[in-house]
């Protein structure tokens, strides 16, 4: 099947409430926007949670429990629970929600890196919440830790017979593809694997078309036809890389986790607005959009009846 899967990453742990009034910062906003994004054409919803009082990223299963059942009741979308959580935590701290709710998919970050957000701080003079400025500036000295031991731990905890989670393997640079190849050869994952090329994070590969082609060529060399791939162009490159990625046979990820904008200098009003825009671009260039059930077949997912929420 040649259809294009749209993932929407609804809130993430990168942006803070000051940066956009549209960023979902509590469970109701996350559920409302996730449901609207699925109605607009997103087959996969990549989800993080936010603290109900401060809008800060949280990995507490209680906060996921506040929106997962509603999303399940109102959409048939595939739920992907992040194990990236928040870049200052260990993997052990980041996976309790995935364990508790056993979703069809989870993200899995394929290498350690400088995941740096601090240049964004220069754009804001005042901040809505006390935690925001320190969180963004502090990333200058942070290592987002995903060692081989960490990767194995997540694979063992979630990928085995108990949870049968399919991973969104987040690869922020070419070396991460080689890390994944090593892990695959060790028998850690089942094919088809689902790669997410994350491009444009400071600390990882830049978001341009040359690099996208290089990532894809490297993946072809390493994984043959045993993989599906998708692309994130973080920030301003979001729509362009998605459009080109789909032309190269990839899937796409949009959402306010990855970019707050709908056009140059214009904040997006919602996640659904970004999904609508990419869907229209893709259909104009001749791509067909995969439904949630088609996505389940393409990626070999365990199915909505096997989730734990």
**What residues line the site for Zn ion (CB under 5 A)?**
12, 82, 84
Nearer to Zn ion (CB atom), residue 84 or residue 245: 84
Nearer to ligand KMH, 83 or 273 (CB): 83
- Please select the residue that binds ligand KMH; options are 233, 257, 268, 278, rule is CB under 6 A: 257
- Quick note: the x/- pattern for ligand KMH over 234-253, rule CB under 6 A, is x-------------------
Would you count residue 109 as binding ligand KMH (CB under 6 A)? yes
Rounded CA gap, 168 and 81, in Å?
Answer: 10
CA distance 236 to 126: 23
The CA-CA-CA angle for residues 196, 194, 8, to 5°, reads 55
Count residues binding ligand KMH (CB under 6 A). 14
Q: Which residue is at the shortest CB distance from ligand KMH?
A: 84
Q: What is the DSSP letter of 287?
A: P
The token pair that represents 202 in the structure block? 């400071």
Near ligand KMH by CB under 6 A: residue from 31, 71, 184, 201: 201
Contact between 199 and 211 (Cβ < 8 Å): yes
Q: What is the spatial distance between Cα 146 and Cα 288, in angstroms, rounded to a whole number? A: 35
Q: Tell me the per-residue interface mask from 153 to 172 with ligand KMH, x by CB under 6 A, - otherwise.
A: -----------------x--
Residue bearing tokens 């695959």: 184
Alpha helices in 15-106 (DSSP H): 27-40, 61-65, 68-74, 91-94, 96-101
Nearer to ligand KMH, 90 or 161 (CB): 90
Work out whether 57 is an interface residue with ligand KMH (CB under 6 A): no
Residues binding ligand KMH (CB under 6 A):
9, 12, 14, 82-84, 107, 109, 170, 198, 201, 234, 257-258
């Amino acid at each position: 099947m040649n259809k294009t899967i749209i993932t929407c990453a609804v809130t993430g742990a990168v942006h803070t409430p000051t940066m956009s009034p549209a960023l979902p910062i509590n469970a109701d906003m996350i559920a409302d926007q996730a449901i609207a994004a699925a109605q607009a054409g997103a087959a996969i919803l990549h989800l993080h949670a936010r603290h109900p009082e401060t809008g800060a990223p949280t990995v507490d299963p209680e906060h996921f429990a506040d929106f997962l059942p509603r999303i399940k009741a109102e959409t048939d979308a595939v739920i992907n629970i992040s194990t990236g959580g928040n870049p200052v935590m260990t993997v052990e701290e980041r996976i309790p929600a995935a364990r508790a709710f056993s979703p069809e998919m989870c993200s899995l970050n394929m290498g350690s890196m400088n995941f740096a957000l601090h240049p964004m701080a220069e754009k804001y003079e005042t901040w809505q919440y006390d935690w925001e400025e320190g969180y963004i500036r502090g990333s200058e000295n942070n290592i987002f830790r995903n060692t081989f031991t960490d990767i194995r731990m997540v694979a063992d905890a979630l990928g085995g017979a108990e949870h049968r989670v399919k991973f969104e393997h987040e690869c922020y640079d070419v070396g991460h593809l080689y890390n994944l190849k090593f892990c695959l050869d060790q028998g850690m994952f089942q094919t088809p694997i689902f790669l997410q090329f994350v491009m444009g994070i400071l600390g990882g590969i830049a978001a341009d078309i040359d690099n996208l082609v290089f990532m894809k060529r490297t993946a072809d060399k390493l994984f043959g036809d045993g993989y599906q791939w998708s692309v994130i162009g973080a920030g301003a490159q979001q729509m362009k890389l998605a459009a080109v990625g789909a032309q190269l046979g990839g899937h796409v990820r949009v959402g306010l986790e990855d970019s707050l904008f709908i056009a140059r200098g214009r904040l997006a009003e919602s996640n659904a607005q970004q999904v609508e825009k990419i869907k229209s671009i893709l259909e104009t260039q001749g791509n067909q959009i995969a439904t949630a059930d088609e996505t389940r077949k393409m990626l070999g997912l365990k199915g909505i009846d096997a989730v734990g929420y």
